[in-house]
């Protein structure tokens, strides 16, 4: 019988071989949820020493049902699906993997920008329907000399900079935290300034109470009517109804969305059927290399805590010195 049990709430890849290998080294076995809904997670959390989670909600209810749990390790960067505040109150360490897919997400943002500017979607749909008329769609847009505006200049935003510059684009950025600015990037002082100047706006910020609904009707109205919006971060950064209305009015020229609100979009949602919108199903992070790295690093974060060590990245560092911090196995009475 294994020393530890690690609950896997959900995962977005075919196997858990990597996690199984990493956690076996600390004598931990995986308990894999089938649906990832709250009722199932509450039931399975009772005997969990750690939780690995991708998209499933690790809510207060789930955390309260897990008296042995010492850590919640997120498969990914954002932790908006975890009740971090409650985890901190309970003495549970929350970790994430902030550096595994920067190249992939930057590639994906660029892919959507290129698809929108070259009218790829309506052209491909026309061909599949038997057509062959390059003049039946709006004229493609030259990207050289255009301005890309980055909302957030973390690892992904920084990875997108040289890609855009290679196309001859100028890059401006709204930087949330102080830090060195990449060569050739000009920072702006406000979101309004960035939206008004950019020909393409790409979102690279976390979902928080401050950023929820960051792009709404007023912000979309500030953008150029020829500009496009790209979102590879989190769906609720954008007010979906406002985006639909802006596209219908021609306030902006298009959108590229790897994330949506809600997610997934209903099958009959109007955004699914527009030629000026490119949507992918939250896969910007995914590649053969990134998924293996993600699984390994998230599992290692959980393993470190089970062994009484701090993980590579702690989302709630105050918990480390909190009297509520849950003890290692050998310290339990």
Residues 94 and 106 placed together within one structural domain of the fold: no
Instruction: Answer whether residue 329 shows pLDDT above 70.
Output: no
Across 161-169, average pLDDT: 98
- Active-site positions read 234, 263, 282
This prediction has a pTM of: 0.89
Q: What pLDDT does residue 176 have?
A: 75
Binned at pLDDT 50, 70 and 90, residue 101 comes out as very high
**Chosen domain end from 245, 260, 279:** 279
Residues 48 and 78 placed together within one structural domain of the fold: yes
Instruction: Answer whether residue 120 shows pLDDT above 90.
Output: yes
Say how many domains are in the chain: 2
User: What CA–CA distance (Å, rounded) separates 84 from 319?
Assistant: 10
Q: What pLDDT does residue 333 have?
A: 40
Residues 222 and 256 placed together within one structural domain of the fold: yes
Residues 205 and 299 placed together within one structural domain of the fold: no
Select from 309, 292, 293 the least CA-distant residue to 301: 309
- Domain with 68 in it: what CATH number? 3.40.50.720
Q: Among residues of the chain, what percentage have pLDDT more than 70?
A: 98
Q: Among residues of the chain, what percentage have pLDDT more than 90?
A: 95
HSE at residue 198, side-chain half, CA atoms within 13 A, is 33
Give CA angle at 31 (25, 37), nearest 5°.
140
Residues 196 and 92 placed together within one structural domain of the fold: no
Across 113-132, average pLDDT: 96
Helices (H), the chain: 17-24, 38-45, 60-64, 84-90, 102-117, 120-128, 155-166, 191-197, 217-222, 240-249, 288-306
Residues 115 and 213 placed together within one structural domain of the fold: yes
Select from 308, 292, 289 the least CA-distant residue to 21: 292
Residues 142 and 206 placed together within one structural domain of the fold: yes
Residues 123 and 75 placed together within one structural domain of the fold: no
The predicted-structure confidence for 257-291, as pLDDT tens digits, reads as follows: 999 999 999 999 999 999 999 999 999 999 999 99
Residues 201 and 224 placed together within one structural domain of the fold: yes
Residues 242 and 152 placed together within one structural domain of the fold: yes
Q: What pLDDT does residue 161 have?
A: 98
Residues 243 and 261 placed together within one structural domain of the fold: yes
Q: Which domain holds residue 201?
A: 102-279
């Amino acid at each position: 019988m294994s020393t530890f049990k690690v609950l896997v709430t959900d995962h977005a890849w075919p196997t858990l071989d990597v996690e199984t290998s990493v956690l076996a080294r600390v004598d931990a076995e995986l308990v894999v949820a089938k649906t990832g809904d709250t009722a199932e997670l509450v039931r399975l959390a009772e005997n969990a020493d750690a939780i690995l989670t991708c998209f499933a909600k690790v809510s207060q209810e789930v955390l309260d049902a897990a008296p042995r749990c010492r850590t919640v390790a997120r498969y990914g960067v954002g932790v908006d699906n975890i009740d971090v505040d409650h985890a901190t109150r309970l003495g549970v360490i929350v970790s994430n993997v902030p550096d595994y897919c920067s190249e992939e997400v930057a590639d994906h943002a660029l892919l959507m920008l290129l698809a929108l500017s070259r009218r790829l979607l309506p052209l491909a749909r026309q061909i599949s329907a038997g057509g062959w008329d390059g003049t039946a769609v709006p004229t493609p847009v030259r990207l050289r000399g255009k301005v890309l505006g980055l909302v957030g200049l973390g690892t992904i935003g920084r990875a997108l900079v040289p890609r855009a510059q290679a196309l001859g684009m100028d890059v401006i950025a709204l930087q949330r935290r102080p830090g060195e600015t990449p060569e050739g990037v000009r920072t702006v002082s406000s979101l309004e300034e960035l939206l008004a100047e950019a020909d393409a706006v790409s979102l690279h910020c976390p979902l928080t109470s401050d950023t929820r609904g960051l792009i709404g009707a007023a912000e979309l109205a500030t953008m150029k009517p020829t500009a496009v919006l790209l979102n590879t971060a989190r769906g609720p950064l954008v007010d979906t109804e406002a985006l639909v209305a802006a596209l219908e009015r021609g306030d902006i020229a298009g959108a590229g969305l790897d994330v949506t609100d809600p997610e997934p979009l209903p099958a009959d949602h109007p955004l699914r059927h527009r030629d000026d919108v490119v949507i992918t199903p939250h896969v910007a992070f995914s590649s053969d290399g990134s998924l293996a790295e993600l699984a390994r690093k998230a599992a290692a974060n959980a393993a470190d805590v089970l062994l009484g060590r701090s993980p590579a990245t702690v989302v709630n560092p105050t918990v480390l010195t909190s009297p509520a911090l849950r003890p290692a196995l050998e310290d339990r009475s």
